[in-house]
Amino acid sequence: MSKVILITGASRGIGRSAAILAGARGWSVGVNYTSNRAAAQETVAAVQAAGGAAVAVHGDVSDESAIIAMFDSTEQAFGKLDGVVNNAGIVAPGSRLADMDVARVKRMFDVNVLGAYLCAREAARRLSTARGGRGGSLVNVSSIASRLGGAGEYVDYAGSKGAMDSLTLGLARELGPEGVRVNAVRPGLIDTEIHASGGKPDRAQVLGTSTPLGRAGTADEVAESIVWLLSDASSYVTAALLDVSGGR
Ligand code: NAP
């Protein structure tokens, strides 16, 4: 069945791969981005080339009105949503908590926690059959950092993903009776540009060799699990935290 999906942070990395894989299934995708318009347009073209439909939707997930606007734009383009991927997220340069300033920690929680909660709230309002929606699937892109803790690098980031795990467990129970499944994928070391934004472009490549599978993962490998959780093939899966981490 063709689906209408909104993916936050879909201009690059894991979100981009998920958008293209959704496109290959013939789905329609809202491709959210915040600053890199050219990358979002490239993703839209790639989704279309894969066989789907797509529209680029601008908006910073830490801004409530921008979130509402990006949901509105996607539904105006393609009709009622069937799925949402809460994927946009940031890291910051490695630091111990004792050395972090408040601006860094606040931004981390504004984007990764407040943003994820408000996008999930908006998804709940639009997907729930109790509110006129068609039911559907919400996929939260957490991280195995939530159980590793991020010591010495980013305990702020790890905690933000811990919040996402709790959100997944609670919201799944709220929304199950209303036709909405809520799950999380928890990637490990995935080779994307997020590591450069944390000051270590080769972090995944270097640390990936110490995982049981002996390498970093790819955005495409994470996208497979996201699209499976969006699809009807996972129809009895909710409140799951799925590690995609090569065993790390
Ligand atoms: P990435 O390559 O850095 O891409 C980040 C994406 O998020 C971009 O599309 C970016 O848009 C968007 N974005 C950033 N801040 C945003 C904001 N405030 N509002 C809206 N969009 C925003 O990251 P990634 O590695 O694909 O990570 C995606 C998700 O996976 C994140 O939640 C991350 O925490 C999680 N994750 C990644 C790894 C990994 O090793 N890569 C591991 C575990 C979990 P622009 O292009 O406009 O900047």
Q: Which of 200, 189, 144, 138 is nearest to 167 (CA)?
A: 138
At residue 196, does pLDDT exceed 80? yes
Going along the chain from its start, the domains and CATH numbers come out as: 4-244 (3.40.50.720)
Q: How far is CA 218 from CA 1, 104, 149, 191, 245, in A?
A: 27, 27, 22, 6, 10
Residue 36 is predicted with a pLDDT of 98
Class of residue 47 by CB neighbours under 10 A (exposed 0-12, middle 13-18, buried 19+) = buried
List the structure tokens of 151. Answer: 């010591």
- Own/partner contacts of 169-178, CB < 8 Å, gap of 24 or more, are 169/239, 169/241, 171/120, 171/124, 171/138, 172/238, 172/239, 173/239, 174/124, 175/124, 175/127, 175/128, 175/138, 176/238, 176/239, 178/128, 178/129, 178/130, 178/131, 178/135
What's the chain's average pLDDT? Answer: 98
At residue 229, does pLDDT exceed 90? yes
Q: Average pLDDT in the 24-28 region?
A: 98
Q: Which 3 state secondary structure label does DSSP give 26?
A: coil
Q: Which residues, 6+ apart, have CB-to-CB distance to 236 below 8 Å? A: none
Residue 116 is predicted with a pLDDT of 98
Residue linked to tokens 């490239």: 42
pLDDT digits (tens, 9 = 90+) for 42-98: 999 999 999 999 999 999 999 999 999 999 999 999 999 999 999 999 999 999 999
For atom 34 of ligand 1, the residue with the nearest CA is 89
For atom 1 of ligand 1, the residue with the nearest CA is 194
Q: Does the beta carbon of 89 lie inside 6 Å of ligand 1?
A: yes
Q: Average pLDDT in the 155-166 region?
A: 98
Residue 78 is predicted with a pLDDT of 98
pLDDT digits (tens, 9 = 90+) for 177-191: 999 999 999 999 999
Residue 9 is predicted with a pLDDT of 98
Q: Does the beta carbon of 30 lie inside 6 Å of ligand 1?
A: no
Q: What percent of the chain has pLDDT over 90?
A: 100
Catalytic member of 33, 117, 154, 157: 157
At residue 33, does pLDDT exceed 80? yes
Residues making up the chain, counted from first to last: 248
pLDDT digits (tens, 9 = 90+) for 122-138: 999 999 999 999 999 99
At residue 10, does pLDDT exceed 80? yes
At residue 1, does pLDDT exceed 80? no
pTM here is 0.99
Looking at residue 122, its amino acid is E
Question: How many Å lie between the centroid of ligand 1 and the Cα of residue 190?
Answer: 11
Question: How many Å lie between the centroid of ligand 1 and the Cα of residue 132?
Answer: 31
- 157 is known as an active-site residue: yes
The CB density around residue 103, as the number of other CB atoms within 10 Å, is: 9
Q: What percent of the chain has pLDDT over 70?
A: 100
Q: Average pLDDT in the 235-239 region?
A: 99
Q: Does the beta carbon of 86 lie inside 6 Å of ligand 1?
A: no
